[in-house]
Amino acid sequence: MALQLEQKRQIVAEVNEIAASALSAVVADYRGLTVAEMTEMRVKARASGVYVRVVRNTLAKRAVEGTEYACLDEAFVGPTLVAFSQEDPGSAARLLKEYAKEHQALEVKALAIGGTLLSADQIDRVALLPTLDQARSMLLSVMQAPVVKLVRTLNEVPTQLVRAVAAVRDQKQAES
């Protein structure tokens, strides 16, 4: 079924709006996936804050025009699936990497973060980026480490005093 001009404009506007606010984008070839597999992937995507859309290449090129994902222009060849991370930069890469392991038909073509085009083999780097909660916990542990070390050092002085007094007591009891 051919899309009418107004439908095409709506798709371009919707994808452009998502691309403007996205943290990262992944372009993949979905050829060979069944409808059930695509539906399963979309459900996982919604749960992890990833916008997934199958878009015609000409519409995708127009949609990313003027955004930081215009660098993906050359990746829009063949059957194209676009995934935009909405919550954390690595979520789309994690989703597609995990799904590509299970389904050999899914092939990542390219990805982009902050206007920088990355090749498909760098998906591991992006997928390993920590989530917001993980980054916060890492930051807090780094900030907390000096304080914990200071408290342990200060606590060691009375502990050593108690050990010394106990040793003197044990020595006097042994002499008597």
Instruction: Return the percentage of the chain with pLDDT > 70, whole number.
Output: 98
Instruction: Measure the CA–CA gap between 60 and 32, rounded to whole angstroms.
Output: 21
Beta-carbon contacts of residue 90 (< 8 Å; ≥ 6 apart): 24, 126, 127, 128, 129, 130, 131
DSSP-assigned letter for residue 80 = -
Helices (H) and strands (E) in the chain, counts: 6, 5
pLDDT at residue 167 is higher than 70: yes
Q: To which H or E segment does residue 108 belong?
A: strand 107-113
Report the pLDDT averaged over residues 139-146.
Answer: 85
pTM: 0.70
pLDDT at residue 1 is higher than 80: no
